[in-house]
Structure 1
Amino acid sequence: MNFKRQEGFRFVFNEAIDAKFKLRLNGRGINFEPYECKIIDISPRGVKMFSEAKIGEYLNNTTLQIEVQFVLDVTMIRATGEIVWSKPYANGSQFGVLFHEDENIDELIISEMKQRRKKEVLQDKFTKIKY
C-alpha cells in the first residue's frame, strides 16, 4: 500500500521513544497485554514506529485500529488510529500510523514536543558549558 503524508511537521527522535500499543478489531481489543514498540518519528497526526510483535495476520482487516500509548515529555498520550503502511525491518516491522482526527491529541502532541525540545536544548547547552 502506498501512503503519502500530507503534513510538513514531523519530528525525528535521536533515540526512539518507548511506547506500547493495542490492536482493536470492530471496537474490541485483540490483545489484552499491550505490545512493546518504539516511536521513530512523530507528527500531530501520526507516528512511524517499530515493533517485533507478530501482527501481520491482522493487517489485512479493514476494521483494524491501533491504540498507541506514549510519553513525549511528562503526559501520557493515548491516540487511536489506523496502520496505513507496514514493512519488514530487522527482526520486526515498521508501521505508519495515521491518528484519527482529534484536536485535543494534536495540541497535546505539539505542546509535549515543544517542552521536550526546550529541555533538550537546555541539556545541550549545559553539556557544552560543563565540559
Structure 2
Amino acid sequence: MRFKRQEPFRYQFGQPLPCTFRITRIGERQVETDKGAAEIHDISPRGIRMETSLNLPIDSAKGEIEVELQFTIVDQPMNVRGVVIWKKTYVNEFQYGLSLEISKQEEMLLIGEIKRHAAMYARRKESK
C-alpha cells in the first residue's frame, strides 16, 4: 500500500461527514453494488479518508477497487469517484484511503465547499 501526502492541504472534519458509496469497478470489471453508509474523516482535493462497517475486498488479486461517493459538505451535493489505495482494520470498522479521480472544475468546487465548511465551523466555535 502506498501513501500520497504531497497535497497542499488536508481538512479534518471536527465531526465526521456522513456519506454513501458504492463500488463501480473491481479491476477491469464494471460493477454496480448497493449503496453503503460511511463517514468521511478528512478530505483534500486529491483524497478522502473514510470509515465504514463494510469490509471491502481490497486485498484480493482481482485488481483495484473504484468507488463512487455521494456527500454534501455545506449545501452542495457532491458526487466523486476514487480508487481505494489503503485499508486499516479496527474492531468493528474499516478505514479506507481513497485517491480521488476528479476534474479541475470538480476540484475547485470541492475546495470552495471545504473553505465554506471551515469558515462556518470556526464561527460556531467562536460563538460558544
Q: TM-score, normalised to structure 1's length?
A: 0.85
Deviation of residue 27 (structure 1)?
6.3
Q: Identity over aligned residues, as a percent?
A: 25
Name the structure 1 match of 2:10.
10
Amino acid at match of 1:70: F
Q: Deviation string for 1:52-82 (max 9, x for gaps)?
A: 1122267543252111111111111111010
SS class of match (1:125): helix
Against the structure 1 CA distance between its residues 57 and 117, is the aligned structure 2 distance closer, same or farther, given a 3 Å change threshold? closer
For 2:112, the equivalent position in structure 1 comes to: 111
> After the TM superposition, which residues 1-131 of structure 1 pair with which residues of structure 2 at under 5 Å, given as runs?
1-25=1-25, 26=28, 28-31=30-33, 33-56=34-57, 60-127=61-128
User: Greater CA deviation, 36-45 or 61-70?
Assistant: 61-70
Please state which structure has a larger fraction of its residues in helix: 1
- Output the aligned Cα RMSD: 1.9
Q: Partners in 2 of 1:90 and 1:60 — Cα distance?
A: 24
For structure 1, which segment, 60-69 or 112-121, has the greater mean C-alpha deviation from structure 2 after superposition?
60-69
Q: Which runs of no fewer than 5 residues in structure 1 stay unpaired?
A: none
Q: Which amino acid aligns with 1:34?
A: K
Q: Which amino acid aligns with 1:94?
A: Q
Going from structure 1 to structure 2, the CA distance change for 1:119 and 1:58 (only over 3 Å counts) comes to same
**TM-score, reference length from structure 2:** 0.87
CA contact (8 A) 1:37 1:50 kept: yes
Superposed CA deviations along residues 68-107 of structure 1, whole A, max 9, x for unmatched, are 1111111111110100111212312110000114112211
Cα separation, partners in 2 of 1:90 and 1:24, compared to 1, 3 Å = same
Q: How many pairs align? A: 126
Partner letter of residue 69 of structure 1?
A: Q
